[in-house]
Amino acid sequence: TNTISDPQNLKVKLVLLGDSGVGKSCIVLRFVRGQFDATSKVTVGASFLSQTIALQDSTTIKFEIWDTAGQERYAALAPLYYRGAAVAVVVYDITNPESFSKAQYWVKELQKHGSPDIILALVGNKADLHENRSVPVQDAVEYAEKNGMFFIETSAKTADNINQLFECHYSLHYNVRC
């Protein structure tokens, strides 16, 4: 992959995929800037941000993040972003079952056309809206296990599990503590 040249300073190309409105851009803004903007703008095409984190063993990871638009009319562009990506984060909204179906569509596409060693993460966002939950945790856990994916529920609004999303699955992969 494009990951390891200097094992102490890793560079990771990461792409976010998923239905429009599930919170992909808010997850990235929360991770990179520590902010949540309830009036965030719809992503056009795709946008790029980077963020470097330090793990406990002083390894640093520079994430080069491609945040894609979820709309149908941009779907044909997705391969431009996920090809060569080390990590693909597929996001759905826990209050929206259609977005969970759409996430499964993206997983299939990545399994077919992504690089064979791509790390896949399934993310149920908007966990703060648990009173309106319509995707049971167990369904997502089972789906993720069956497909060899890392799974986590997040809230870009409250920041719950946002750092863990970026830190843990990568740390697990490299067998370092997070």
Q: Which residues bind Mg ion (CB under 5 A)?
A: 24-25, 43
Q: Is 24 in the site for ligand GDP (CB under 6 A)?
A: yes
Tell me the C-alpha distance between 81 and 47, whole Å: 10
Q: Is 20 in the site for ligand GDP (CB under 6 A)?
A: yes
Q: Is 155 in the site for ligand GDP (CB under 6 A)?
A: yes
Cα–Cα nearest to 155, from 103, 94, 101, 106: 94
Q: Is 95 in the site for ligand GDP (CB under 6 A)?
A: no
Q: Is 70 in the site for ligand GDP (CB under 6 A)?
A: yes
Q: Is 68 in the site for ligand GDP (CB under 6 A)?
A: no
**Which lies closer to ligand GDP via its Cβ, residue 26 or residue 118?**
26
Q: Find all residues with CB under 8 Å of 70, minimum gap 6, and list them.
A: 17, 18, 19, 20, 21, 22, 24, 43, 102
Q: Residue 156: name its binding partner from Mg ion, ligand GDP, none (Cβ under 5 to 8 Å by kind).
A: ligand GDP
Q: Is 125 in the site for ligand GDP (CB under 6 A)?
A: yes
**Exposure string over 80-97, b if 16+ CB within 10 A, otherwise e:** ebbeebbbbbbbbbbbbe
